[in-house]
Amino acid sequence: MSKTKSQSSIRLGLCCQFLEEPIKFRNTTVKSNSQMERTAALEKLARLCRENAEALQSSLEYCAAHNIGCFRINSQILPLKTHPECGYDMQDLPEGKAIVKLFKQCGQYAREHQIRTCFHPDQFVVLNSPRKEVVERSIAELEYQSEVAEWVNADVVNIHGGGAYGDKESALAQFAENFKRLSKRVRSRLTVENDDTTYTPADLLPLCRKIGIPLVYDAHHHRCLPDELSIEEATEQAIQTWDREPMFHISSPLEGWKGPKPHRHHDFINVRDFPDCWEDRELTVEVEAKAKEQAVLKLMQSLRNRKK
């Protein structure tokens, strides 16, 4: 994905929501939805989906205005979409086609303004779970998010490796087996990310090479759960798994690296946590920080200052 000349080689990404901007994404609960008559429930869901499409358009316009090169779309952009009782197809919704058209317009805007979009499904998406119902639900969720990804021109649907279940090798083999069950629409977008409790880059890189999916390298997670690879080595090997612009994650520990829980995210990014070896590369780096757009803008400025 190309960048404008005004952009640096690093494309910084904003994750899902805003701290200070009046842009809000709407959701609802299963309890609230299931208490409504179905026609009324579908009308409410249609309204929420439409409002979320409009919020996504506003989010992309904000990113374009502030030179933010990537936006992560909330997994509940279509609320309750895959729920076994409350779920729906777009054709079930009043004006469902018009809502899809709004999302496709977002995709066109993102293309025109060279803004990358992506998804990061929730933690319940576990492709290697030993529980059949968890895998089925995970596949349904990946299919839904990849369908929306197609509308909005998103090229990444990123998940974690899942559980180890006492045997990492077998668990990752199960991941590879269930990967075959996914549609081409999902397989072409699916990426896997190292986490801070179970799977390191060294654990996941063989899986990535075996089934041909990219590694979203998270430097914070790697610092929390290190392996034999240095940050520089993990960066190089992760980049080699990509057939398009690589996507990485950055965050800083809330109470510092010597604090009691270094995996917890700070409001902002300490520029010292941004690896030197990432600079001047063609990368998307998603900023996982509680101050959201303010954290992205501050890191952008800090990286400019570091270059001076």
No. of H helices and E strands in the chain? 10, 8
191 phi and psi angles, rounded to 5 deg = -130, 165
Q: CB–CB of 56/152 below 8 Å?
A: yes
Quick one: pLDDT at residue 61? Answer: 98
Quick one: pLDDT at residue 4? Answer: 42
User: Could you identify the residue written with the tokens 């119902």?
Assistant: 133
For residue 209, give the 3-state DSSP assignment: helix
- CATH code of 7-69+77-118, in short, is 3.20.20.150
- Count the residues in the chain: 308
Quick one: pLDDT at residue 90? Answer: 97
For residue 216, give the 3-state DSSP assignment: strand
42: left (phi over 0), alpha (psi -120 to 50) or beta: alpha
| Positions of the chain with pLDDT under 70 | 1-8
Global pTM reads 0.95
**CA distances to 112, 171, 206, 229 from 200, in Å:** 36, 14, 11, 9
For residue 28, give the 3-state DSSP assignment: coil
Quick one: pLDDT at residue 9? Answer: 84
Quick one: pLDDT at residue 248? Answer: 98
Quick one: pLDDT at residue 171? Answer: 98
CA distance 131 to 184: 24
Quick one: pLDDT at residue 307? Answer: 80
Q: Please, what is the end-to-end C-alpha distance for the chain in angstroms?
A: 27
Quick one: pLDDT at residue 287? Answer: 98
pLDDT in tens, 215-274: 999 999 999 999 999 999 999 999 999 999 999 999 999 998 988 999 999 999 999 999
Q: What residues pair up with 265 in beta bridges, in sequence order? A: 253
DSSP string, 42-68: HHHHHHHHHHHHHHHHHHHHHHHHTT-
Cα 272 from chain centre: 24
- Pick from 296, 284, 308: nearest CA to 110: 284
Question: CA geometry: angle at 1 spanning 147 and 189, to 5°?
Answer: 30
* All structural domains of the chain with their residue ranges: 7-69+77-118
